Amino acid sequence: MAGPVAIGAVASKIKNKKSKIKILEGIKDSKKLSAKKREEWNKILRENFECHCVFVSHKIIDKMGIQKAVLLGVERVLKKFRKPNLVLLDGLLKAPEKYKQKTIIKGDEKISLISAASIIAKTIRDRKMIQLHKKFPKYNFDKHKGYGTKLHYRRIRKHGILKIHRKSFLKNLTK
């Protein structure tokens, strides 16, 4: 409901496939890890893989919708890599047509590199929301990270909508 959407990507140049696979043993979807574990994985991933993350702002989300904003983010993050041989995507995501790609439903639960990308994105976005908490402490972004929790709704009702809120997500609150 607040802040940018983050799109993470992780690339492996498989020189020693066994060691890369071993590094990723036990990795999980970011939503199934504690913040501490995500930070630990973030460090491991950045030391062993090429990792990038981009934000797409709340303004763009409101202008074009979350789905198109995410696709824009996919395009932006892929530009940070040399042209990959294969792009693995989670859910219903698509990369621009120039990329050889495969979309895997629940990919963040099934494919370790997709799990890794979800960890990179969530870790960076959470850090961003903690920064925003320092700027807007009444909203408790350090706790709910901008998601639609009961606490976040209570803070909005008490203090109003901020410029960083996604207005398109708050239509019921703004009526």
Q: Is the dihedral of CA 118, 66, 92, 152 positive or negative?
A: positive
Q: What pLDDT does residue 175 have?
A: 46
Q: What pLDDT does residue 17 have?
A: 60
Residue that is written with structure tokens 């932006």 in the block: 76
User: Of 124, 129, 118, whose CA–CA distance to 152 is shortest?
Assistant: 129
80 to each of 1, 11, 50, 148, how far by Cα in Å?
27, 11, 10, 31
Q: What pLDDT does residue 15 have?
A: 65
Residue that is written with structure tokens 């940018």 in the block: 4
Q: What pLDDT does residue 16 have?
A: 63
pTM as predicted: 0.91
Q: What pLDDT does residue 69 have?
A: 97
DSSP 2: B
Q: What pLDDT does residue 85 have?
A: 87
Query: Using CA atoms, how far apart are residues 102 and 170, in angstroms rounded to an integer?
Result: 33
Query: Residue 167 is encoded by which pair of tokens?
Result: 């207005």
Q: What pLDDT does residue 153 have?
A: 93
Chunk the chain into consecutive blocks of 10 residues (it has 175) and report each block's average pLDDT, rounded to whole numbers.
97 69 87 95 94 97 96 97 91 93 95 96 97 97 95 94 93 63
